[in-house]
Amino acid sequence: MYFPKNFQFLIKELYKNKAKISKVFFTIFISLLIFSSVTILKNSIENQIKDNARVFLGGDIELSTKNTGLNDEFIDELKDKFLMTEVIEFTSILSTMNEESKTTRIKVIDNFYPLLGNVKVEPANSLSLLQTTSNSILIDKTTKNNLDLKIGEKIRIQNVSFEVIGVIESLPDISGFFLFGDQALINKSGFKNLTINNLGSFINFKYKMIKKENNSKLSKKIYENQKIKIKNPEDVSQNLKRTIENFIYFLTIIAASAILISGIGLKNSLYSFLTNNQFNIAIYKSLGLSSNNIKILYYTQTLVILIFCSLIAYTLGLLIIFFLDYSFLNFLNIDLKVKFKITEYIIIQFFGILVFFIFAKPVVDSIDQIKVANLFRNSSTHLNLNYTRKSFIEISALLIIFVFFFCISNVKPQQTVVFFFFFILISFFYYFLSKVYVLILGKLKNIKNLLLNMGIKNLKAYRSLNSTMMVTMGLGMTTLFFLGMLSSNINKELNTSIPKNAPHYFFLGIQEDQLKLFREQIYEIDSKAKQIVVPMISARIETINNRNPKELIDENNKSFWFINGERRISWSKNPPFNNPVIKGKWWDKDEINRLQISLDYKVADDLKLKIGDSMTFNIFGNSVTGIITNFRKVDYRDLNINFAILFNPKYASQIPHEFMSTIKFENEELVNLSNILRKLPTITYIKLSEYINKTKKFLNGIFIVSILISVVVILIGLIVISNAISVIGSLKVYQNLVLRILGFEKLNIYKLIIFETLILFVPIIISSLIFSIIFSYFFITNFFSIDWYFSISVISIISILFMLVFVTTLLISNRKYLNFNTYYLLRNG
Amino acid sequence: MKKLYKLDNINLNYNVNGNDIRVLKNINFELKKNERVALIGESGSGKTSLLMLMSGLEKPSTGSIFFENKDFSVISEEQKTAIRKKKIGLVFQQFYLIPNYTALENVMFPMQINKINNEKEKANLILSDVGLEKRKNNLPSELSGGEQQRVAIARAISFNPEVILADEPTGNLDRKNTELVSNLLINYSKKKKISLFLVTHNINLAKKCDRVINLLDGEIRN
């Protein structure tokens, strides 16, 4: 080996070419930075969830029941084997003395809470104070700010007064409050003064336990009791991961796109670098160095830079996530612990090197084509990026290694494989499109227009580079359109105003004997308010067609929520105005002896249910079986009353039930609920605008982070494309020079450049638009579960902006080759 | 004979690393229509620089170049380009053919940009005149040096310019091709009544011209 021994020469070469080589590595550096940031973010979240799963759950195991708690016998038995804290969670309304109110999830804790982790409160002793002081309450920051409360002030739950003794900074067991965390803590004595027994309070009894001994196990009867839900730390970490894994997956594929697009950029820049350096290479060869010696020189130089790039990218990535953690990422509700990990760095380095070899190999291999004879003829070689069978196999193997490791180290490996499959498929599509396109253009004869003729000739002459350009532009445009559509869809979701006919409030937990008073109170607040009142029960699906529903679908099914836990069910004489029947017949409203069921058709579709199938429900401990008679189209997004399950009214009304109501006031801002809350203290309400804001806060966090990363990827795409333009521009120096000397006006050369680009642009725009529509539709509907829409304005803006940036880059890149001074080249041949 | 070029007290200086280099000194001469002039001189004497000034590719430091009474120093770059397009045929030592155009397309090109009709037929005719009828569909890279230079000459005369400016047109050719190319240039110039101004080291070629100018250290010595 000649060069490794002659390290001094290598460094000298590197130093001399530093400006050109930095240009080659600029895009790959940026993409490694994105990749590092995403990897650090992903690993920090996963590690945090994994390391703290027990704390997030609040113990080694959690048992929970709805509506009623476990009996004392059960609890005593558990206490023999486990340390236990009993937490009761319910939803209620906090009202201030100034008649402000807010729906809050309240946790009732005992003296053992928390078993794991720390409750951060202000003042620090307020938790122990809460456990010993009756009718005291700890509220969270949002509640404190929204209700403008101070420590020492009184607030009411139902009609019971509580004193605010502190503010919650954070709770350790966040499993149930990951996203929407308005909460308060009270103690058991305070809870005993309240009447929490209706469906609207969504009451849960949770028993968080730590094993006294390693072999402490739950008894068989607990497992057999279908009312009891058992959670392990792994379930919590799985749930938390599932909540954010779409977000992480999105970031991951953006990073993968960035790294692959920058690989193409690296290929272009390296090609330009070698083309410009071919006289040097020819001179080295004439002095006796072999192609392999020179290749080793280039590989060693680039590896030195790559190691340097990866290290800086990784370190910057750590800093970025560290700062983002305090700003944009607080919507995740997790404190990320960011630190340098050698394994993480090695992974970044590994992927960087793989990408380098995948894209740089055919270019570096083209060194073989540079002939010493060029020096005699004073001519240069048009380097072709030809893929031999050997190089094709080598590159494919590297690509497979890249995809394999990328997929197994990321969330949703299967979907990541699908992404790579399509990415590579699209790359090939654009590659073949360029070939076919040039072939078709070549068949066009007798073209009278000189510029068109010249444009086609140039496209044919630089077909190898035009293929690269078309692949780069195609992938770039597809990514741009895709991200544009994704952003516009998320943005639309964020800006979606509450539908016009949507109610302002949902009132829950109205008992039959309270209904009259409730209606009167609403009438008193606003005589023109629109009220809809429907009955409601809670039931668990025991079997579907005599089978355990969990045997029908797994947790990944979109309708798993339907069979998991209790469902709220209502009934109606007629089909609800917003839920048209789309299959089957609406029932006989006088049928009293048979239970008939109406289902949301999407759920039915996911569970593969048919009209006539049977479902058995557990209602207040009794099993009731009914027949599915129709499917309805339920649009939960209209924010009116929507039940996945409806029963036939005569049968269902025999079941003990309560009511829920939606109210649309004439003017929401003038509404004062203090009287109704005082007279009907047990009811709960959900203010629609508040609820939507909470959802938006999370989506907004995702949106900002996604946009930030997307913008960087878009910039990478533009840099790569501008590099490709520069490469072609530099190769056309000679041609443009001759054209100018022959009297071809500068304006015409500019026109020719634009013309050529437009010829390339047409099929790219069409194809990338089709691809991005398909992919964004798939992504939006599957991962974000929101309605996809096509924004013509976003597409037009992206196209126009891209064209402007593209043509400007094109003209700037070529301008230097058209300057008068270029004619000095003539003297040197 | 009418005057085509008038070079009036031309000086050309370059500043290299802070040092002024006087490339051309007080150059005065005229080129008439249908006149053939050879410029000879040693390497570095300023021959190519003078040719570049005459083709409007470079500006003199002082002095004026008149082409058909138009002063190059007062007209725009685009106007000079237009003059080059319509009236000046250039032939270079390195040929400078458009690499991705065939011999025929290279010859057709000036006619196309000058919107001259029947360019294909005319180009075919010229190529057969220079003996390249069978090589017309070859790319420059597929032609020998002599063939490339013949294509370059064909291209230079294809649009009937007023003058051909040739920079060492035989500098890269063997003896046989030198003879062939020299004769082509001189004969065409005479036949089409095109002025010829050529820079050469080849005394035989220079002798075929009406007049020879000797350039020594940037000055004309007769």
DSSP annotation string for A379-392: ----------HHHH
Q: Smallest Cβ distance to A745: which of B78, B92, B96?
A: B78
Cβ contact, residue pair A743, B85, below 8 Å: yes
Q: Do you know the residue count of chain A?
A: 829
> Same domain for A223 and A263?
no
Gap between the Cα atoms of A314 and A37, Å rounded: 7
Three-state DSSP class for residue B117: coil
Backbone angles phi, psi at A383, to 5 degrees: -70, 130
Gap between the Cα atoms of B35 and B1, Å rounded: 8
> Same domain for A433 and A459?
yes
B176: amino acid identity, one letter: K
Ranges of chain A whose pLDDT falls below 70: 1-14, 16-17, 19-20, 23, 174-181, 243, 326-335, 373-382, 385-387, 462-465, 494-500, 637-639, 693-703, 705-710, 713-714, 718, 721-731, 784-785, 813-814, 816-829
Asked if B113 reaches chain A (Cβ–Cβ under 8 Å), the answer is: yes
- CA B214 to chain A, closest CA, distance in angstroms equals 20
Cβ contact, residue pair A826, B52, below 8 Å: yes
A499: amino acid identity, one letter: P
Gap between the Cα atoms of B145 and B135, Å rounded: 13
> Same domain for A814 and A706?
yes
DSSP state of A156: E
Gap between the Cα atoms of A393 and A710, Å rounded: 32
**Which residue in chain A is spatially nearest to B112 when comparing CA positions?**
A450
Gap between the Cα atoms of B136 and B143, Å rounded: 10
Asked if A736 reaches chain B (Cβ–Cβ under 8 Å), the answer is: no
Gap between the Cα atoms of A335 and A141, Å rounded: 17
Domain boundary (A208, A231, A254) is at A231
| A197 falls within a domain | yes
Domain boundary (A198, A231, A264) is at A231
**Which element (helix H / strand E) includes B165?**
strand B163-167
| A419 falls within a domain | no
By DSSP bridging, strand A82-96 and strand A204-211 are: antiparallel
**CB proximity list for A792: less than 8 A, separation 6 or greater:** none
Question: Is the Cβ–Cβ distance between A205 and A64 less than 8 Å?
Answer: yes
ipTM: 0.74
> Same domain for A382 and A458?
no
- A 10 A CB-CB count for A60 gives 17
Q: In total, how many domains does chain B have?
A: 1
**CB proximity list for B214: less than 8 A, separation 6 or greater:** B40, B41, B220, B221, B222
Q: Smallest Cβ distance to A743: which of B84, B93, B94?
A: B84
**CB proximity list for B70: less than 8 A, separation 6 or greater:** B83
Which of B50, B77, B113, B162 should be substituted to probe chain A, the one whose Cβ sees the most A Cβ atoms within 10 Å?
B113
Gap between the Cα atoms of A21 and A273, Å rounded: 8
For residue A625, the cross-strand partners are: A616
Asked if B170 reaches chain A (Cβ–Cβ under 8 Å), the answer is: no
Backbone angles phi, psi at A559, to 5 degrees: -105, 20
| B213 falls within a domain | yes
pLDDT at A822: 45
Asked if A376 reaches chain B (Cβ–Cβ under 8 Å), the answer is: no
- CA A376 to chain B, closest CA, distance in angstroms equals 11
> Same domain for A1 and A78?
no
Gap between the Cα atoms of A377 and B145, Å rounded: 10
Chain A residues with CB-CB distance to B84 below 8 A: 741-743
**CB proximity list for A462: less than 8 A, separation 6 or greater:** A728, A731, A732, B100
Which of A379, A731, A742 should be substituted to probe chain B, the one whose Cβ sees the most B Cβ atoms within 10 Å?
A742
Which of A453, A756, A826, A828 should be substituted to probe chain B, the one whose Cβ sees the most B Cβ atoms within 10 Å?
A826
| B203 falls within a domain | yes
Cβ contact, residue pair B77, A820, below 8 Å: yes
**Which element (helix H / strand E) includes A233?**
helix A233-276
Q: Smallest Cβ distance to B98: which of A460, A735, A823?
A: A735
Alpha carbons within 13 A on the beta-carbon side of B75: 19
Gap between the Cα atoms of B157 and B151, Å rounded: 10
| A148 falls within a domain | yes
A734: amino acid identity, one letter: Y
| A353 falls within a domain | yes
DSSP state of A634: -
By DSSP bridging, strand A622-632 and strand A581-584 are: antiparallel
- Cα–Cα distances (Å) from B138 to A378, A608, B58, B97, in that order, read 20, 69, 33, 12
Tell me how far apart the terminal alpha carbons of chain B are, to the nearest angstrom: 21
Q: Smallest Cβ distance to B113: which of A450, A747, A823?
A: A450
> Same domain for A634 and A719?
no
By DSSP bridging, strand B3-16 and strand B62-67 are: antiparallel
> Of A396, A417, A398, which Cα lies nearest the Cα of A406?
A417
pLDDT at A378: 53
> Same domain for A563 and A448?
no
Cβ contact, residue pair B55, A827, below 8 Å: no
Asked if A823 reaches chain B (Cβ–Cβ under 8 Å), the answer is: yes
**Which residue in chain B is spatially nearest to A376 when comparing CA positions?**
B172
> Same domain for A224 and A246?
no
> Same domain for A194 and A252?
no
> Same domain for A394 and A335?
yes
| A150 falls within a domain | yes
Degrees to nearest 5, angle at CA A688 with A684 and A690: 90
CATH of the domain at B166: 3.40.50.300
B144: left (phi over 0), alpha (psi -120 to 50) or beta: beta
Burial code (b: 16+ CB inside 10 Å, e: under 16) for A574-604 equals: eebebbebeebebbeeeeeeebbbbbbbbbb
By DSSP bridging, strand B19-32 and strand B3-16 are: antiparallel
Q: Smallest Cβ distance to A735: which of B77, B99, B155?
A: B99
DSSP state of A547: B
Which of B14, B58, B87, B149 should be substituted to probe chain A, the one whose Cβ sees the most A Cβ atoms within 10 Å?
B58
Tell me how far apart the terminal alpha carbons of chain A are, to the nearest angstrom: 36
Cβ contact, residue pair B86, A823, below 8 Å: no
Backbone angles phi, psi at B195, to 5 degrees: -65, 150
Query: Is pTM beyond 0.80 here?
Result: no
**CB proximity list for A131: less than 8 A, separation 6 or greater:** A109, A110, A111, A113, A187
Q: Which residue has the tokens 């109110």?
A: A101
> Same domain for A472 and A437?
yes
Cβ contact, residue pair B88, A743, below 8 Å: yes
**Which residue in chain A is spatially nearest to B155 when comparing CA positions?**
A742
Q: Smallest Cβ distance to A738: which of B55, B78, B98?
A: B98
Gap between the Cα atoms of A339 and A319, Å rounded: 9
pLDDT at A213: 80
pLDDT tens, per residue, chain B with 222 residues: 688 999 999 999 987 777 888 889 999 999 999 999 999 988 888 888 898 889 887 889 999 999 999 998 888 888 888 888 899 998 887 777 887 788 998 999 889 888 888 989 999 999 998 889 999 999 887 888 888 888 998 999 999 999 999 988 887 777 888 888 888 889 989 988 999 999 988 888 899 999 999 999 889 886
Which of A741, A748, A827 should be substituted to probe chain B, the one whose Cβ sees the most B Cβ atoms within 10 Å?
A741
Burial code (b: 16+ CB inside 10 Å, e: under 16) for B71-109 equals: ebeeeeeeebbebbbebbbbbbbbbbbbbbbbbbbbbbb
Cβ contact, residue pair A746, B81, below 8 Å: yes
- Cα–Cα distances (Å) from A439 to A433, A444, A463, in that order, read 10, 9, 10
The residue range of the domain holding B217 is: 34-59+80-221
The residue range of the domain holding A573 is: 530-664
> Same domain for A30 and A108?
no
Q: Give yes or no for a cis peptide into A362 (omega within 30° of 0).
A: no
Q: Smallest Cβ distance to B112: which of A450, A460, A823?
A: A450
Q: Smallest Cβ distance to B94: which of A378, A744, A747?
A: A378
pLDDT at A666: 84
Asked if A745 reaches chain B (Cβ–Cβ under 8 Å), the answer is: yes
Q: In total, how many domains does chain A have?
A: 4
